[in-house]
Structure 1
Amino acid sequence: MSIPTEPIGSIPRPSTLQAALAAHAEGRTSDAELAALQDRATAETLTRLEDLGCTVLVDGEQSKPSFVTYPIAGLTTLAADGAVIPFADGHSRQLPVLTAGPFRYQTHADTYLLAAREHTSRPVKQAVIAPSALSLLYPGNGIDGYSREQFLADLADEAEADIRRCLDAGAHSVQLDFTEGRLSLKLDPSGGVLDDFVALNNEVLGRFGDEERAKLGVHTCPGGDHDSTHSLDVDYAGLLPKLFQLKAGNFYVQLASEPDPERVLRIIADQLRPGIRVFVGVTNPIGTTAETPEEVRDRVLLAARYLPVGQLGTCDDCGFAPFADDTSTSRDLAFAKIEARVRGTAMAAAELGV
């Protein structure tokens, strides 16, 4: 037995791909030219992860417009004035808003998985957006002839299909990105929105059997974009007890950037139940320097004081570039952090004798 370690999802795109994305937005690069560069970046990402000794790979989201909007790219029934997500440094991201039903995904995540598997024989993990995030697309004033209840029913069906298609396509695991969980407590400290999010996600997760849920995971973090976060100031104590109510076999929890990781580990230990694994974050993607393997080792050993080693894994706190236009972290720095995670986790496993 060893301690498993996995990436979360996004990795900064190469500069050539960033330039092509900008040119494509201005109509100076064709769809085919952009797709070719995205495929090349995906292949390079997978190769570099293999070379670093990663046993579970991701495609780095080289072809996704963002971790949250990939299912709706190209959807024509959207307006621009949706929910605004403010970040601590003052910048914000704005979601679109749905203008008509029925709601249907335009792209399913298995398309990224199948493309990645063309370039590697190693296990590939696939990240998908949690349905709770997409529930924010429905306008507060409703849509004539398309109720919120019908929208949520359609959304649950689409989210289930997104996950199931990835499992059917051979994903090593499927990770639901649930960054809005912590943010919800900032927007609604009463926890009512979080309860709704958990209920919606469990409606989807509950459609899978025990063996399938062993391959499903949920990722939580305080957001990461342009070296800033949207909810790091929200106390984890309000989120984690409800997070662990989700019907998943794996939990990926941002921890390296927490000011008091031991307090968080105590909360996790209180919520731990048999049959799940907790991957704790041991690298900070928005940090400006790479962790050393020794720093990672010490973070793993600290986690092992609170969590059974047989239920412990490691990960990065979150993706390195969840939005395609985020260039705040260099590609080389991201890979240096990943290498430290892989080596440091192995050093901790050796010290723990697993």
Structure 2
Amino acid sequence: MTIPSESIGSLPRSPELLGALAAHESGQLGDQAFDAVVSRAVRETIEQQAAIGATVVTDGEQRKPSFVTYPIAGAENLAPDGVVIPFADGHQRQLPCLTSGPFRYQTHAESYLRAARECTSLPVKQAVIAPSALSLLYPSSGIDGYSRENFLEDLVNEAETDIRGCLDAGAHVVQLDFTEGRLSLKLDPSGQVLRDFVELNNRVLARFSESEQARIGVHTCPGGDQDSTHSLDVDYAELLPVLFQHTAGNFYVQLASEADPDRVLRVIADHLRPGARVFVGVTDPIDPRVETAEEVRDRVLRAAQYLPVAQLGTCDDCGFSPFADDQSTSRRTAFAKIRARLEGTALAAEQLGVGFPAARSSQEAHRPAAVE
């Protein structure tokens, strides 16, 4: 028995990559040169994770324009005036709005996974956007000749393809980013929108076998963008019972930034079903202070008082800089927090008398993996 530890997905972009993104968008950098910069950023990101002892890595979402918009970037049937997401510090993010059907992904996450697996033999985790988030693209006024149910059927098909492609390409686990879950309770305190979200996600998950569902996870957090959140003030007790209705095998739950973690852990313990694993957040990506390994250890030990160790894992509360233009956190800080998470989880595992996944040798970790 071990206590696994995983990143959520995104990691800050390097100054070189940020510069290349701007130059490519303005037409000053060609596609081939841009791809070379991105490929180098992915390799360096994976190698840095391996160097500090990660046993499961991600590509840091270096290729994505954002964790939410990657499937639709470049689509021609979108308008910019979609749902607005307000953050606590006053800034906003706005989703695009679908203008006509059919709905189709422009990019599937399998392409990111295959590129990452060429850089390492370590297990690679792939984050994908939950279909519930993309359901927000459909306008409330409807679309002539393309009903909401037609849209949802297309969305379910596309989301299944996105997840299945990653599983078939050898993903260690596929994680659905579900940050809109907690936000939905702010927009609709009745909880109906949240229940609709989970029902939609489960329409997709129902297309997978039990063994495949065991390799699928759902991540929840109150948002993390430019050192601010969109729904930290929403009571977790309203979200978690519904969250755990997802037919997935893993759950990644923000916890380090919660004011009352014991209360949250009690709710998790009451609703975590047998066989599922919950990864609790032990570092806060939007807090500039780097946690110590001892602080992480104590957070893991606290969680172990409420949750079976066999069903426990650790993660960061959220991804680091999930939007490409977010420069609020440096790569140095992000990797220092990840190191603290790994070291602190190992300390807790030792104290609990269980194992911690051993890191492979540097040579083995950097050896390219075979890609199907």
Q: 1:79-133: CA deviations, max 9, x gaps?
A: 0000000000000000000011110100000100000011000100000000000
Q: 1:28-52: CA deviations, max 9, x gaps?
A: 1122222111110000000000001
Partner of 1:12: 12
Partner of 1:192: 192
Measured after TM superposition, the shift of residue 25 of structure 1 is 2.0
Aligned counterparts of 2:333 and 2:293: Cα–Cα separation in 1: 14
Partner of 1:60: 60
Q: What SS class does the counterpart of residue 74 from structure 1 fall into?
A: coil
User: Normalized against structure 1, the TM-score is what?
Assistant: 0.99
Q: What SS class does the counterpart of residue 72 from structure 1 fall into?
A: coil
Partner of 2:103: 103
Partner of 2:94: 94
Which residue identity is paired with 1:149? E
User: Normalized against structure 2, the TM-score is what?
Assistant: 0.95
Q: Is 2:58 aligned against 1:44?
A: no
Which residue identity is paired with 2:128? V
Partner of 2:178: 178
Q: What SS class does the counterpart of residue 11 from structure 1 fall into?
A: coil
Partner of 2:362: none
Measured after TM superposition, the shift of residue 303 of structure 1 is 0.2
Measured after TM superposition, the shift of residue 237 of structure 1 is 0.6
Which residue identity is paired with 1:203? R
State the Cα RMSD in Å.
0.5
Partner of 2:73: 73
Q: 1:239-295: CA deviations, max 9, x gaps?
A: 000000000000000000001111000000000211100000000000111110000
Partner of 1:213: 213
Q: 1:273-325: CA deviations, max 9, x gaps?
A: 11100000000000111110000000000000000000000000010011011
Q: 1:158-200: CA deviations, max 9, x gaps?
A: 0001000000000000000000000000000010110110100
Which residue identity is paired with 2:351? E
Q: Give the unaligned 5+ runs of structure 1.
A: none
Partner of 2:118: 118
Q: What SS class does the counterpart of residue 71 from structure 2 fall into?
A: helix
Measured after TM superposition, the shift of residue 60 of structure 1 is 0.2
Which residue identity is paired with 1:251? F
Q: Is 2:321 aligned against 1:321?
A: yes
Which residue identity is paired with 1:169? A
Which residue identity is paired with 1:7? S
Aligned counterparts of 2:22 and 2:222: Cα–Cα separation in 1: 27
Partner of 1:334: 334
Aligned counterparts of 2:328 and 2:66: Cα–Cα separation in 1: 15
Partner of 1:222: 222
Aligned counterparts of 1:25 and 1:86: Cα–Cα separation in 2: 26
Partner of 2:364: none
Kindly report structure 1 stretches of 4+ aligned residues shifted beyond 3 Å.
none
Aligned counterparts of 2:33 and 2:323: Cα–Cα separation in 1: 20
Partner of 1:304: 304
Higher relative contact order (CA 8 A, sep 6+): 2
